[in-house]
Amino acid sequence: MNILIAIDGSKFSQSAIQAVVAHINPHHAALRLLHVIEPIPEYADSLSWGYGLQSDRVLQEEREQAQGLLARAAQGLRDAGFDVATAVEVGDAKAVIVDAAAEWPADLIVLGSHGRKGLERFLMGSVSEAVARHAPCSVEIVRTQTRP
């Protein structure tokens, strides 16, 4: 079984990783950890007064941070007995996750939910909802309890 785990470094993506470790037999799964760097829209870049919000240097720093995040998460999964590959992509997270799942091909996508509601959800969008609607395979959305 090919399982794509989309992570962003939040406690929500950590919950997704923990769910895979708790529920999936490592001998029957190949994992791919994916981190998506979302570029800053060009109109926002024009507001930076010439400082270039998404310069090549900034993008490279984001890639390095993402690779460190993926390396730490992959090591924990390898310690649990999983075969793990990692990938960093740049683009719209919703589209990149769906496309990566189709290309691999993934049998399951696992991702955490930030649990946004109302205006925040409208403004920020819901990656997990969009992935669930458009994915070429099953999707598990792991919710993190935010209340005691």
Closest residue by Cα to residue 106 from 4, 25, 18, 13: 4
How far is 21 from 15, CA to CA, in rounded Å? 10
For residue 51, give the DSSP letter: S
pTM of the full structure: 0.84
Check residue 143 and give its pLDDT.
86
Q: What is the domain partition of the chain in residue ranges? A: 2-143
From the options 3.40.50.720, 3.40.50.80, 3.90.79.10, 3.40.50.620, give the CATH code of 2-143: 3.40.50.620
Check residue 113 and give its pLDDT.
85
Determine if residue 26 is left, alpha or beta; phi over 0 gives left, psi from -120 to 50 gives alpha, anything else beta.
alpha
- Residue recorded with tokens 């669930």: 132
Closest residue by Cα to residue 53 from 66, 35, 39: 39
pLDDT tens track for 17-73: 999 999 999 999 999 999 999 887 655 555 544 444 557 788 899 999 999 999 999
- The CA–CA distances, whole Å, from 20 to 57, 76, 97, 118 equal 34, 12, 17, 29
pLDDT tens track for 99-135: 999 999 999 999 998 765 555 444 445 888 899 999 9
